[in-house]
Structure 1
Amino acid sequence: MTRVSDLAQIQEVELSQRILEMAKAGVYRESLFDAFSGVASKRQVRAAIATAKQFGLRSNPALRDTDLGTYYHIDPKHYDSFQTLLEAAISPISSDDVATRLRKLTEIVQTLVRISSGVALSLLMAGSLCVLNGKLILAATIWSAALAVSLVWMLQKLMVGSFLE
């Protein structure tokens, strides 16, 4: 039974990964609580066990112990898919890639703000045309939509104001 030397709180995903690594050789539930006692609460360990079950952690009822509780081992097929998913999630990104992504993100946000303003202006003009044609109820409906889209546009400008300039 190994104690985890980290004194900092570890995230549930990392805790789940450590549980899966320990379960390669087989581990009892109480041993998990003991191993992570200085790092995570029992509630966090239980949550991590639940997460690990989604990625290959299996219990073996035949090996259940009255003192140590449930015996866990891994299903290699599910474990391998978890490892692939985890590596993809935390793989480092080169600095050039980040700059390119940031530029694209900026362009996308600018486009979304422009679309909002364009739709608001279009609805405003369409409502005005309806007034000129004597369709006041339709004009009021379209102007209400224009007001709603204008509020979305103003909210977008407010939220990303300095980012776009």
Structure 2
Amino acid sequence: MSTIARRPSVVELSQRILDMAKTGVYRESVFEALKPVATKKQIREAIAHAKKFGLHSVASLRDEELGTYYEVDLVKLRSIEHTISTPVPSSQSTDLTKQTTDAIVTIRLMLTAAKGAAIALTIIGFAYLLTGKQQASFGLFSSAASAAGLWILQKAFAKKVDSQS
């Protein structure tokens, strides 16, 4: 067997952290205990994963040298403990506020683009109508109507999303 042992997964590290935090543990103690088997990055990911299962900090017990003091909400842990082995991709952004804000900005850009296209096609259609190019103006008006329909549909969906958030 090689001299390098298999590194535990984030889920396994998370389980160890939760076990340690059942009686309370300082962040620095977690790093010291897991340093032989995991990197700091893996330990931080495991702490983030464990927070989804009831790990929380106690601000009043924070220590300058030992850092954050962690405890576990045993009720929450027991209620969802069966799902702890489900790996959660931690490399992806889990900041829900940022994702929601990005989605809202994207929706507003889509609304602006559809509305702008409808207006532009209508104006160009009128210009073609005034110059006597009726077939081209009909095509532009049809395109403007399609763009306006998309804008109305997107606006209705946007209102639905906005009322849910």
TM-score of the two chains, using structure 2 as the length reference: 0.47
TM-score by length of 1: 0.47
